[in-house]
Structure 1
Amino acid sequence: MRGLPATPDLFLAYLGMETDLIFTHGHELPGFASFPMVETPAGRALLRRYYDDMIALGRRSGHGVILESPTWVANRDRAAPLGYGPEHLAQINRDAVAGMAEAKAGAPDVPLCLSLNIGPRSDAYAPDAQMTVPEAEAYHAEQIAAVAQTPPDMVSAYTLAYAAEAIGIAHAARAHDLPVVIAFTVERDGRLPTGMTLPDAITQVDAKTDGTPAYYMINCAHPDHFTDTLHAAPWMDRIGGLVANASRCSHEELDNAETLDDGNPAELGQQLSALRQRFTQIRVLGGCCGTDMRHLAAIATACRQGEA
């Protein structure tokens, strides 16, 4: 699988930091933006604790780890209301990658990949307008170009809702010679928020990019929302990762929630492990909204038990 080392067979990824910060630790994140943390000593120290926790789990479990930069909304339109311009954002993206690189340098015994985390231009769950492929490429190229001179191991585009944006991101990453991972989100019916089916989205992106994405993932959905969608098929062979929500709630319900639904960590781990046993090409598992290190540890444990 392009973008990941040949070993180990499983990599763990964590994308639940923002909900953990807001609901568990009482941090305010205007615009759901965690990227301002890279600008302060306290913020950088907190990010490093998340990275170190993941590295420690990888060390204990024997699994690899993908470190994700806190840059999901560090793009022009999402950051502008917070007072950030393009040059400032470019430096933040570079600093975010540098922070991950520093954590990686301190853990030579754990297989680590560094991922520049890219999010959608508009609301992931209800995009008010859809870009054309050229528009998406030009828009997201700005964030990718910012780190081109000190590149991460890969670019991961998370929580995408339609194929054209994914195609544009893939083109932009290829232009900078960076492996790219495309992660679509789905609603309770297993379809993207725009109504497109997951098979159609993956097939369309591959056709329009000559198969550029290293692999595809599903993120920001509970396994109950997508398990019935997954079946043996050529498009399924391209899915290499599942990064799941703790909650069975819909995206609308989660957006309006005043308390955190952290689900059942052990059950989530077992569900993801079972899917990995069914689809052996899957090499990345992790937690998204509502998850914390309990969920990641449960995933690691369930996978170890499944391999026994």
Structure 2
Amino acid sequence: LTLEEINIRGIEFYKNFANEYESPETPMIVGGVIGPRGDAYNVGRTPDAAEAEDYHSEQILTFKKAGADLVTAATFSSVDEVIGLARAAKAADMPVVISFFVAKGGRLKGGHSLEEAIAEVDAATGSAPAYYMINCTHPTEFEPGLTDGDWTKRLGGFMPNAVAMETLDLCKLGHLEDGDPEELGGQMADLARRFPHINVWGGCCGTDGRHIGEITRQVGDVRRKLAER
């Protein structure tokens, strides 16, 4: 199988899955996920915007050919690479979601604050991303980057790790650290109170059905109470 065929078969699998389980009340969209060209956690050389646009355009066009509804670019640290990828998605007329990897202290590995990164990408792409997310880091690590301001309205989702630990250290353990699912659900509920517009709530490294269950329960409680006000 070629890489293109593997991508197309993957999207077809999930489209069939969605067709089987979605309903008028719970529609499902299918997205193709793209990762950074290099190492997401040990950032060395990163492509400039032009190189990234050329490199990522092939997979974006493959996802479009396969019938994906959108592209999600996950675990990105380089603003330049995100700019190129967002331009490629815009040129292909594909909705794109950008999910940044925010290191401990609330900044990207490249040094940008989350606010700076989003502002720079929006300025360079005509606000091409549909919205932005954070993934592969724990709430206690990325929350310092959530400074007050209108820029946070561009955030649409959080997908945290189960524990606060350097990602490279997590990769060396040989097993997944699962932390405390109830505590993680509570931390996400706190974010739901602060950011009631956020619609995507998920999990990343170390999370499983227990974590997602707690996030669903506790965030759901917050959203119901907010809706009753």
TM-score by length of 2: 0.93
Counterpart of 1:103 (choices 17, 22, 27) is 17
- Letter paired with 2:170: L
Map 1:28-107 → 2, pairs under 5 A: 88-107=2-21
Are the equivalent residues in 2 in contact too, given 1:286–1:296 (CA < 8 A)?
A: yes
- Letter paired with 1:233: G
> RMSD over aligned Cα, in angstroms?
1.3
Are the equivalent residues in 1 in contact too, given 2:113–2:145 (CA < 8 A)?
A: no
Deviation at 1:124, TM superposition (A): 0.1
Question: What is the aligned partner in structure 1 of residue 58 from structure 2?
Answer: 142
Find out whether 1:123 has 2:39 as its counterpart.
Answer: yes
Find out whether 1:233 has 2:152 as its counterpart.
Answer: no
Q: 1 or 2 for the larger relative contact order (CA 8 Å, sep ≥6)?
A: 1
Segments of 4+ moved more than 6 angstroms: none
Are the equivalent residues in 1 in contact too, given 2:105–2:144 (CA < 8 A)?
A: no
Deviation at 1:126, TM superposition (A): 1.4
What is the alpha-carbon distance in structure 1 between the residues aligned to residue 118 and residue 214 of structure 2? 29
* Gapped regions of structure 1 (runs ≥ 5): 1-86
> Which string of whole-angstrom CA distances, capped at 9 and with x for unpartnered residues, describes residues 49-97 of structure 1?
xxxxxxxxxxxxxxxxxxxxxxxxxxxxxxxxxxxxxx71111111110
SS of 1:117 mapped into structure 2: strand
Percent identity over paired residues:
41
Aligned positions, number: 222
> Which string of whole-angstrom CA distances, capped at 9 and with x for unpartnered residues, describes residues 206-234 of structure 1?
00001000000010000000112213212
What is the alpha-carbon distance in structure 1 between the residues aligned to residue 184 and residue 202 of structure 2? 10
Counterpart of 1:260 (choices 164, 170, 176) is 176
Find out whether 1:293 has 2:209 as its counterpart.
Answer: yes
> Which string of whole-angstrom CA distances, capped at 9 and with x for unpartnered residues, describes residues 178-224 of structure 1?
10000000111111112221111111000000100000001000000
What is the alpha-carbon distance in structure 1 between the residues aligned to residue 20 and residue 120 of structure 2? 40
